[in-house]
Amino acid sequence: MSQLQASLDRIAAEMAAAPRRGRVADYIPELACVDPGQFAIAVCLADGTECVAGDADTAFSIQSVSKVFTLAMALGRLGDQLWARVGREPSGLAFNSILQLEHERGIPRNPFINAGAIVVTDALLSGHAPREMLGDYLRFLRLAADDEAIHINEAVARSETETGHRNFALAHELAAHRNLDHPPEHALGAYFHQCAAEMTCRQLARAGRFLLNAPGLPRLLSPARVRRINALMMTCGHYDGSGDFAFRVGLPGKSGVGGGIIAIAPARAAIAVWSPGLNPQGNSQLGTLAIEKLARAMRWSAFG
């Protein structure tokens, strides 16, 4: 058995026994009833090897992990003109805060806070109906993961539409600053659906391979743009816990309130992890810990 597989097995065993598992997101009814005892981890190496442990074939709601994929799509389609509408700096504030947005006159700090991701989705709509943009999005996910089974959970999307007042407030605030090309309800309709995509850890690790910049793997974006997405994940990928993730784990990553995290060891490995309980910063508690342990065991670090 490879050192990687041994590490994953050991980590999965430790996580199964972990007493403090964080708190499952309860603001979306559909997410609140997920069993917090679950854990999964999957890794795709640059040479094509795949290793998994735990519930790696259980699908979960990727939520904000989706922001990596829509950012990649938007950069591929619009290029650097996207940066006129969204910044590239860490936010230093809670993840759905409207404060900074007003302070910065409608330019969200970065594409990974909710306001920034809504702008990215609005940019992807580019005059079309949400349905079309979501078709493109699913095609992108399926191509990246090489798996046609990936789908969107309509019940989850609807659930957010009904209760997502914070996001409606953000979208109207963006519209007030004229940084939304489509009506708030259209941009949000697309956004809630993108967040409601469901993937397994195995699928998510595969879908992250294009961020390795390694030969022989799917290439969905130029190497320069891949590096930039990784840079944004490093500085902004975990809301107000981004600095701590960089400090402890040392790899670019992006989390979602469904408990999933994608992380990249540049040129080496795409990692996906999932455990539904969140830490106070809104990132998967055991997921963060598992990636920290894996990075240490494999000596994967962006920092030497």
Angle among Cα 196, 31, 158 to the nearest 5 degrees reads: 45
Which residues, in sequence order, are CB contacts of 231 under 8 Å at separation 6+?
252
Nearer Cβ to a second copy (200/283): 283
Asked about 67 being catalytic, the answer comes back as: yes
Which residue in the list 257, 275, 284, 293 is annotated as catalytic?
Answer: 257
Asked about 27 being catalytic, the answer comes back as: no
Which of the stretches 29-37, 142-150, 193-201, 211-219 binds a second copy when contact is defined by CB under 8 A?
A: 211-219
Radius of gyration of the chain (CA): 18
Q: Which residue has the tokens 């009833």?
A: 33
User: 253-255 and 260-265 as β-strands: parallel, antiparallel, unpaired?
Assistant: antiparallel
Pair of tokens at residue 111: 């594409």
User: 277-278 and 23-24 as β-strands: parallel, antiparallel, unpaired?
Assistant: antiparallel
Q: Is 227 an interacting residue with respect to a second copy (CB under 8 A)?
A: yes
Nearer Cβ to a second copy (40/117): 117
Task: Give buried/exposed letters for 252-267 (b at 16+ CB in 10 A, else e).
Answer: bbbbbbbbbbbbbbbe
Site string for a second copy, 12-51 (x = CB under 8 A): ----------------------------------------
Q: Is 143 an interacting residue with respect to a second copy (CB under 8 A)?
A: no
Q: Is 235 an interacting residue with respect to a second copy (CB under 8 A)?
A: yes
For residue 180, give the 3-state DSSP assignment: coil
Instruction: State how far the Cα of 71 lies from the Cα of 121, in Å rounded to an integer.
Output: 8
Q: Count residues contacting a second copy (CB under 8 A)?
A: 55
Please list the active-site residues: 64, 67, 191, 239, 257
Site for a second copy, rule CB under 8 A: 87-93, 97-100, 102-103, 109-110, 165-166, 168-170, 172-173, 175-176, 184, 211-214, 223, 226-228, 230-232, 234-236, 240-244, 246-247, 250, 252, 264, 266-267, 301-304
